[in-house]
């Protein structure tokens, strides 16, 4: 993988001025998650200004997983970065750290992409999965059909919300109807350690490639046993939240994959460390977005294209909100494409 040059961020080459703004975005239609239906979401945009120009980052909160930052916290960390003119020694809460890093990376070269790649030059896309939101079986089937018709080759399905027998039947039908598609599953910790083994065995027969976070966070011994015995490969997601030593978790649990969300897992530099640790252990990794606005999504896309070009990622499509739209990102078939000025 390509590594971020962190040195300019630690000691920024130009004087910095940081500000932040709270924004409330409204979903085009309710986003149903394991933590309820979302109709709006709050996000915080961080602006880093230098004499040469301005860069933006996003501090994006996933309800129920991390606390929303306070005005005091945002002011504190922005003033800290200003005072020392960089990120050296700064380890803010994950969403704030992600916003700070993305804003400073953009401010290094205002009006240019953070990294010069085939993606930012408009010459290559990033393949992404099609997320099938939690809903009734009929509406989830309709979403699958629409995704395949759009050209997606990977479907991500939520499991654990409907009766298990219904979910199994739906997945078997999906495999029979779309034999060419990769199917990834996400349980969001919905299974108990006692029920997980037989449920994973049943789900493996649907031909799915991975399941994210089958049991709740913090149960490392049980999770390690599942990763050792499950016929369905397991990817860790929420488990990464709050873990400062990636090597400790990966060596204890030995998952088949990890799903990195920089806004939840420590920022971009921490995400890079997770990816490095995974590669050193032969563990697959990919990046999921977390309902960011176009500011956060563009930063994630630029990093994915730089760090792991051509990898299937779990990025959003950029069309979630009524009051937010990217002028740079476009969805073409199953790929995100960028047109940078």
Catalytic positions are 158, 261
Phi, psi at residue 19, to the nearest 5°?
Answer: -135, 165
The whole-angstrom separation of Cα 77 and Cα 4 is 22
Q: What secondary structure does DSSP assign to 104-120, as a single string? A: HHHHHSTTS-SS--TTT
Task: Name residues whose C-beta falls within 8 Å of residue 178's C-beta, 6 or more positions apart in sequence.
Answer: 144, 148, 155
Q: What secondary structure does DSSP assign to 124-135, as a single string? A: --EEBPEEE-S-
* Spacing of C-alpha 232 from chain mean position: 22
| Best CA proximity match to 58, nearest among 11, 23, 109 | 23
| Pairing outcome for strands 126-127 and 335-338 | antiparallel
Is 235:227 a contact under the CB 8 Å cutoff? no
| Pairing outcome for strands 36-50 and 53-60 | antiparallel
Helix or strand run (H / E) with residue 91: none
Instruction: Taking the CA atoms of 321, 322, 326 and 332 in sequence, report the sign of the dihedral they define.
Output: positive
Is 257:281 a contact under the CB 8 Å cutoff? no
Measure the CA dihedral 184/185/186/192, to 10°. -150
């Amino acid at each position: 993988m390509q590594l971020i040059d962190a040195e300019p961020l630690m000691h920024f080459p130009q004087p910095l001025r940081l500000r932040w703004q709270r924004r409330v975005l409204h979903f085009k239609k309710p986003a149903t998650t394991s933590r309820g239906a979302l109709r709006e979401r709050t996000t915080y945009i961080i602006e880093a200004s230098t004499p040469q120009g301005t860069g933006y980052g996003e501090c994006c909160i996933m309800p129920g997983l991390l606390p929303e930052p306070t005005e005091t916290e945002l002011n504190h960390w922005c003033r800290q970065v200003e005072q020392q003119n960089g990120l050296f020694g700064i380890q803010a809460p994950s969403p704030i750290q992600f916003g700070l890093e993305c804003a400073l990376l953009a401010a290094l070269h205002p009006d240019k992409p953070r990294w010069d790649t085939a993606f930012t030059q408009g010459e290559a896309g990033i393949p992404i999965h099609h997320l099938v939101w939690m809903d009734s079986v009929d509406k989830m089937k309709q979403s699958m059909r629409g995704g395949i018709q759009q050209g997606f080759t990977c479907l991500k399905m939520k499991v654990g919300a409907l009766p298990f027998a219904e979910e199994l039947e739906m997945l078997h039908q999906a495999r029979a109807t779309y034999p060419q598609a990769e199917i990834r599953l996400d349980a969001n910790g919905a299974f108990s350690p006692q029920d997980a083994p037989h449920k994973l065995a049943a789900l493996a027969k649907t031909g799915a490639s991975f399941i994210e976070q089958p049991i709740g966070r913090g149960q490392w011994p049980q999770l390690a046993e599942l990763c050792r015995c499950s016929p369905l490969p397991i990817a860790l997601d929420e488990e990464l939240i709050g873990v400062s030593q990636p090597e400790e978790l990966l060596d204890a649990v030995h998952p088949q994959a990890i799903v990195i969300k920089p806004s939840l897992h420590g920022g971009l530099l921490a995400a890079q460390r997770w990816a490095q640790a995974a590669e050193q252990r032969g563990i697959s990794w990919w990046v999921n977005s977390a309902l960011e606005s176009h500011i956060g999504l563009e930063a994630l896309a630029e990093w994915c294209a730089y760090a792991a070009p051509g990898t299937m990622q779990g990025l959003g499509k950029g069309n979630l909100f009524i009051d937010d739209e990217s002028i740079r990102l476009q969805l073409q078939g199953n790929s995100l494409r960028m047109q940078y000025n």
